[in-house]
Structure 1
Amino acid sequence: MEKLITWTKGVFDSSYQIFCNGQICGNLIFETWNNHAFGIMSQKNYHFRTKGFSDITTTIYGDNNEELGIITFHMWQFRAIISLKDQTPFTWNYSNSWLSSWNLSDHQHTHMHFRASSGSGTIMGKNLDNELALIAGLYIKEFFSRILVTFIVFVAIMVALRGV
């Protein structure tokens, strides 16, 4: 049976609130000037720390600084691979050209479909019990959104400077 989880975030804010059965069940909060984030799901804490420029990876840490997994980004393909400790790797990729829908799957037991509109969205799937994969799916979406906004601002500045 498919389950449904919803989430909200401010338009210019990088803080997500995750709702299960109408009750808040998690948060994902990004730092302002970098791609580090802090997540909470079911009283468990997750820290996302990004490093690299051409080969960008994010390491996911739990409490006591225990490494739980790594996210490897494939920038030009707008996709990512989530490798969690002792689990089959997950593939994350957009499923439409407007970048408002994406999938997360381990190609075996877990398949999550995310949809976003301005400031809110849904997560549907038959197995949404893997909270770390779920919150990592939102993390990757925000990561790519930030890259896209940075690129648009860069192009706008270049166009403005060319006109001077």
Structure 2
Amino acid sequence: MERILNWRKGLFDSNYQVFEGTYLKFSINFTSLKNSAIATTQKGIYLLRSDGYSNPETKILNSNHELLATIRYDWLAFKARVTFANGENFDWSYQNSWLSRWSLNNHTDRQIIYNSSTSNGLIHGNTDDDMLFFIGLFIREYYSRILYAMVLIVIFMSFIRNVFY
């Protein structure tokens, strides 16, 4: 069963809306300065809470605060691993050098491929699990925020260097 979803977000915000046809399937709303979010689907509300800097991870909790999955990040390789409470693992990675295509898959029977332009994109998947769909978008936004922060640091350091030399 292949599903094709459309997603969009504002140009300068981090809130995603995902549609199947014309129907809103779910949304993800990020907090301003933290890499945490609330995902609202037709099946429930989920909290994605990120912790740590040297060994970062995100915990996915349902509305009863039960741990459903954990995301661990590999900053150097721009990859992530999602481990569900039932032991199932998914790998997330970029598929091109423009960072506009990425995938989430378990290397056996479930795979989701994401494509993006500036503020919208398509999702192709062979599963009906909305949680997998929003996890892939969450990880993408997580890495986007890190890249923006690195660019700002480089600009700031360049500015400081020019001021004092």
2:98 corresponds in structure 1 to 98
Could you list the structure 1 runs, at least 4 aligned residues long, displaced by more than 6 angstroms after superposition: none
1:159 corresponds in structure 2 to 158
1:104 shift after superposition? 0.5
1:147 corresponds in structure 2 to 146
1:87 shift after superposition? 4.7
Tell me, in whole angstroms, the C-alpha distance in 1 between the residues paired with 2:42 and 2:21.
13
* 2:73 paired with 1:49: no
1:67 corresponds in structure 2 to 67
Q: Deviations over 1:59-83 (max 9, x none)?
A: 0000111111100000000000011
Give the RMSD, CA atoms, in angstroms. 1.0
Structure 1: runs of 5 or more not aligned = none
2:115 corresponds in structure 1 to 115
Q: Secondary structure at the match of 1:70?
A: strand
Q: Secondary structure at the match of 2:50?
A: strand
Tell me, in whole angstroms, the C-alpha distance in 1 between the residues paired with 2:125 and 2:61.
25
Q: Secondary structure at the match of 2:137?
A: helix
* 2:125 paired with 1:136: no
Q: Deviations over 1:24-70 (max 9, x none)?
A: 11000000011110001113111011111110000000011111110
2:21 corresponds in structure 1 to 21
Q: Which amino acid aligns with 1:98?
A: W
Tell me, in whole angstroms, the C-alpha distance in 1 between the residues paired with 2:56 and 2:21.
35
Question: What is the number of residues matched between the two proteins?
Answer: 163
Structure 2: runs of 5 or more not aligned = none
1:90 shift after superposition? 0.4
Between the aligned residues of both structures, percent identity stands at 33
